[in-house]
Amino acid sequence: MLTGVSRSVVGAVTRGTTNPNRLRRCDRWLAGPQAWRLRRAARPIVVDLGYGASPVTAVELRDRLRRVRPDVEVVGIEIDPARVAAAAPLAGPGLSFRLGGFEIPLDGDARPVVVRAFNVLRQYDEAQVVAYWDLVRSRLAPDGLFVDGTCDEIGRRAAWVALDDAGPQTLTLSWRLAGLERPSQIAERLPKALIHRNVSGEPIHDLLTELDQRWQYAAGLAPYGARQRFVAAAQSLADGGWPLRFPERWRIGEITIDWLAVAPRGSRS
């Protein structure tokens, strides 16, 4: 069941902690492999859902996506009225703020081409996730994308599920390569749908275990830098049959994999 703070606003108030540049990894993915969605959109509306106590991530999202579509319209949506009021002075061309939740309250028949929700569903029960996914997906524009993600406090590690009108399509994992000891350290930042599934017998556990092994096998490349080592590990993972996408992104410490390869066992999605 979906819970709401009122009859029309769907969701619950979350902690709202955030930091500047925290969501840069996902923003660059949206402006990179997913840029075609913005370019094709008749009206490029992008929602930053649950932006938190500071609107900085919405401002950064607008600025980054303007490089793809100068006329992008970023709408920050928050369920806490005080946060909406605090963000209001920053509203301007291409950026607005409004009260709301997973129902995505936009004017008239407007529909977003992208909805980004980071560190939001992480604070909900796992059993609620699919219902919220389905609700947001029902609000998307044609070729629209919903991104449900989680990251650490300063964005060094991030993970997100990308969903379209057919359901979840991919999982992306992104690391700051400098100082990386083991790729599986990202486990604590998995999205809610996966974070409790990192146990033996689950595909996400198999992926992270094998990625650690491939990283270790590539240790001989460490003198040439973490980038070369990570690319070799990712290539080895792909050669082993894991369905990785966007190989050009490996060099920045990012892999995207088909959702069906990591979906929880018994999941209907």
7 three-state secondary structure: coil
> Quick one: three-class SS letters along 19-49?
CCCCCHHHHHHHCCCCHHHHHHCCCCEEEEE
**Residue 10 DSSP symbol:** B
pLDDT in tens, the chain (269 residues): 343 444 488 888 877 788 899 999 999 999 999 999 999 999 999 999 999 999 999 999 999 999 999 999 999 999 999 999 999 999 999 999 999 999 999 999 999 999 999 999 988 999 999 999 999 999 999 999 999 999 999 999 999 999 999 999 999 999 999 999 999 999 999 999 999 999 999 999 999 999 999 999 999 999 999 999 999 999 999 999 999 999 999 999 999 999 999 999 987 44
Per-residue pLDDT at 1: 33
Report the amino acid identity of residue 35. A
Distances (CA, A) of 22 to 12, 25, 26, 29, 192: 22, 8, 9, 14, 18
Per-residue pLDDT at 13: 83
Residue pointed to by tokens 């996400």: 204
Distances (CA, A) of 83 to 14, 114, 169: 11, 22, 32
Q: How far apart are CA 188 and CA 66, in angstroms?
A: 32
Per-residue pLDDT at 59: 97
Q: How far apart are CA 127 and CA 124, in angstroms?
A: 8
Complete domains list, the chain, with CATH = 1-165 (3.40.50.150), 177-263 (no CATH)
Per-residue pLDDT at 269: 47
Distances (CA, A) of 57 to 97, 114, 121, 232, 251: 12, 15, 17, 33, 25
Q: Which residues pair with 146 in a beta bridge?
A: 115, 163
**CA max distance for the chain:** 59
Q: Which residues pair with 159 in a beta bridge?
A: 150, 173
Per-residue pLDDT at 215: 98
Burial-class residue 39 by CB neighbours within 10 Å (0-12, 13-18, 19+). exposed
pTM for this prediction:
0.94
Q: How far apart are CA 269 and CA 256, in angstroms?
A: 18
Give phi and psi for 207, each to the nearest 5.
-60, -50
